[in-house]
Structure formats: structure tokens, C-alpha cells
């Protein structure tokens, strides 16, 4: 996919997350929802490299992947409203939302819980010889669960087609890694198990796509570990109902870009698209604004 199309997708995910966030701030949802502002380049790139039979096993912070796979705002939004017209009939909400026809077969709020499930799925693919790869997402907090190591060991022992993608945002709830544990050299840990390791940083979806395609290729003959440095722009959870101390500072009225730096995927995407960015976003807004409880402010389109 060409870089401009990738940039459009990144902005699409950013806009849709903003729309959900604005609705969250207005108390529209009865369930906790974790925004993933800052994870858009990863989600776009991973979605691009998935082959039709590949599968995704996600974490609690799965919004960017849901939108990337749905390629539409409404089914995910309606699911968050627990509307029967939602992506899963309004039965799964956010943290467990799956879209099996789009490869998302599992998502869990229990840290680390998706890893052995993904290992089992990969085992099934190996036994059946499907050629598919399972991608399991995890965080720098969730990788502290013992099952992270067990899954890698099991996957390596059986040479399973499993790609474990760590989204390292240096946060588990409000704690930084240095505050809560010793550092883990993920590359060295993977090497100790004879598992290939690939790092990601910089938020260029084209570069991410190339690396993830390499990871996918390698995973066809055994597990791989990928670690992405990511800045999550919403503290722990974004504007989650019931999270009393959430600052709820992110606002669509200040534009799609949260911070003019390469840590913000929308910054690079908007820069690449130039004047086309606002025209594209306007066309997306025209398709979604009728659904929302909130009025959309004109100002968000011009930034
Ligand atoms: C087994 C388990 N322990 C604790 C929690 C509570 N909890 C929810 S999210 C979270 C932090 C997760 O950090 P990380 O895996 O890095 O993901 P991030 O939120 O940073 O994307 C914790 C401790 C949980 N959901 N499951
Ligand atoms: Mg984290």
C-alpha cells in the first residue's frame, strides 16, 4: 500500500478514536473502553500485513485494531453502545470484542490471558498446515505475567506460527517500568529461547509494514517476538467511565494531532498528506456525524 493511503488510514483511526473519546467524556457508554491514541500506525501496518487466514488475539487496549480491521466506525461504535447492530450484536462491548470474519478471534481484559490462547490457535494452524500466522498483542505490563514466558517456550518448542507483538508504552496503569520492576531485555530474552526478535519505533506505517511482513514470514516456521515502542496519549485508559482521576485532556476540538512530534502517528500522517488531510477527514466526518450524540466542532477539521 502506498504511503499516502497508509497515512489516510492512520488519520481515519485517529478520528474514530477521537469520536469515541468525545462520546466517552459525555458518558455515552456503560462499559469501560480503552482508547489507544498513539497506537494507530501499528494497527494500520499490522492490519495490512495480515493474510486472510491469519488471526489476531488482542488485549484490553484494542480499539485501534478493531477500527483498523472493521474499516468502518459504526459497527464498533454501536458495539460499544451494546447495540444489537454492533460488530458482535452488542454482546461483547470493548475489552472482549472479536470480529472473527476480520481475523480478530480473541480479546481479553485479563493481562496475559490472550497469549496461551494465541499459542493454542497457532498450534491448531500448525497441525492443520494452514500456513496462517497468529498475532498476539501484549503490553509491557502484561508481559510480566508468567504465561508470557510459558507461551514463548511452548511456541518455540513446537515451532508454532505465532508472532507476539509487545506494545511497550512504559506504563502499566499509572506505573512506569523503572518504578515497578527491573528492566527486561526483550531481545536478549528472545535470543535465549532462540526466537527471532524485531524492534519497531518511529511510527512510520510503511516501515512498520515492512518489518511486520518480515515477522510474518519468519513466524511461518516458528515464533517471533516484536517489541514496539509506543507512546499512549491517554494515560492508562483514556476517558474511561469510573476512572475518577483520568484527566480527560484529549479533545477533538484541538485537532486530530495530539502532539506535534513523531511519537504521535497522526502528526507524521498529517504532514505527509498536507492539505489533503483535512479534505479527507471532512469526508469521513460527513459519513459519521449523524450517528453521534455530540455536535462536531468545525475547528477540528481545519487543524
Ligand atoms: C491478570 C491481571 N492483573 C491485573 C489487571 C489490572 N490491569 C488492567 S490494565 C493493567 C495495566 C496493563 O499494562 P500493559 O499490559 O502495559 O497495557 P497498557 O494498558 O499499558 O496498554 C492492569 C494491571 C488485569 N486486568 N489482569
Ligand atoms: Mg503498557
Average pLDDT taken over every residue of the chain? 93
Mean of pLDDT values over 45-66: 98
Going from N- to C-terminal start, the domains of the chain cover 3-301
pTM listed for this prediction? 0.95
Q: How confident is the model at residue 302 (pLDDT cuts 50, 70, 90)?
A: very low
Name the percent of the chain lying above pLDDT 70.
94
Angle formed at CA 225 by CA 223 and CA 228, multiple of 5 degrees: 155
Fold of 3-301: Rossmann fold (3.40.50)
Q: At what angle do helices 205-219 and 40-49 cross, to 10 degrees?
A: 50
Query: Which atom of ligand 1 is the closest one to the Cα of 237?
Result: 19
Distance CA 282, CA 103 (A): 29
- Using a 10 angstrom Cβ sphere, with 0-12 exposed, 13-18 middle and 19 or more buried, the burial of residue 178 is exposed
Task: For residue 138, give the ligand nearest its CA.
Answer: 1
Backbone angles phi, psi at 181, to 5 degrees: -160, 170
Least confident of 188-192, 233-237, 252-256: 233-237
Ligand 1 atom with least separation from CA of 169: 20
* Ligand 1 lining (C-beta closer than 6 Å): 60-61, 109-111, 139-142, 167, 169, 171-173, 232, 236
Ligand 1 atom closest to residue 138's alpha carbon, by position in its atom list: 15
Across residues 225-234, what is the average pLDDT?
95
What is the arrangement of strands in the sheet containing 224-229, beginning at the earlier edge strand?
A: 104-107, 55-58, 134-139, 162-168, 224-229, 197-200
Please tell me the distance between residue 112's alpha carbon and the centre of ligand 1 in angstroms. 9
* Residue of 82, 59, 86, 62 lying closest to 72 (CA atoms): 86
- Give the three cell numbers for residue 179: 518504578
Q: How many CB atoms neighbour CB 117 within 10 A?
A: 18
Residue 20 has pLDDT above 90, yes or no: yes
**Best CA proximity match to 165, nearest among 208, 131, 205, 132:** 208
What pLDDT is recorded for position 289?
77
Checking if the pLDDT of 30 tops 60, the result is: yes
Amino acid at each position: 500500500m502506498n504511503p499516502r493511503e497508509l497515512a489516510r488510514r492512520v488519520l481515519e483511526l485517529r478520528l474514530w478514536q477521537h469520536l469515541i473519546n468525545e462520546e466517552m467524556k459525555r458518558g455515552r457508554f456503560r462499559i469501560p473502553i480503552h482508547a489507544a491514541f498513539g497506537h494507530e500506525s501499528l494497527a494500520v501496518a499490522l492490519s495490512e500485513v495480515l493474510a486472510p487466514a491469519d488471526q489476531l488475539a488482542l488485549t484490553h487496549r484494542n480499539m485501534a485494531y478493531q477500527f483498523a480491521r472493521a474499516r468502518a466506525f459504526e459497527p464498533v461504535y454501536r458495539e460499544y453502545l451494546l447495540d444489537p447492530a454492533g460488530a458482535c450484536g452488542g454482546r461483547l462491548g470493548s475489552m472482549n470484542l472479536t470480529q472473527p470474519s476480520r481475523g480478530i478471534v480473541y480479546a481479553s481484559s485479563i493481562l496475559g490471558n490472550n497469549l496461551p490462547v494465541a499459542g493454542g490457535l497457532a498450534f491448531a494452524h500448525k497441525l492443520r498446515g494452514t500456513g496462517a500466522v497468529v498475532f498476539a498483542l501484549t503490553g509491557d505490563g502484561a508481559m510480566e505475567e508468567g504465561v508470557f514466558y510459558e507461551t514463548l517456550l511452548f511456541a518455540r518448542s513446537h515451532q508454532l506460527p505465532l508472532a507476539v507483538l509487545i506494545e511497550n508504552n512504559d506504563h502499566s496503569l499509572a506505573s512506569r517500568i523503572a518504578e515497578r520492576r527491573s528492566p527486561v531485555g526483550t531481545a536478549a530474552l528472545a535470543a535465549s529461547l532462540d526466537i527471532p526478535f524485531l524492534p519497531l519505533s518511529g511510527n512510520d506505517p510503511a516501515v512498520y509494514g515492512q518489518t511486520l511482513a518480515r515477522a510474518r514470514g519468519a513466524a511461518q516456521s516458528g515464533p517471533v517476538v516484536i517489541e514496539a515502542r509506543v507512546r499512549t496519549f491517554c494515560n492508562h485508559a483514556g476517558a474511561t467511565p469510573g476512572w475518577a482521576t483520568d484527566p480527560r485532556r484529549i479533545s477533538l476540538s484541538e485537532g486530530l494531532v495530539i502532539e506535534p512530534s513523531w511519537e504521535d502517528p497522526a502528526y507524521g500522517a498529517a504532514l505527509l498528506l498536507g492539505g489533503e488531510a483535512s479534505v479527507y477527514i471532512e469526508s469521513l466526518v460527513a459519513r459519521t456525524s449523524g450517528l453521534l450524540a455530540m455536535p462536531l466542532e468545525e475547528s477540528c477539521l481545519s487543524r
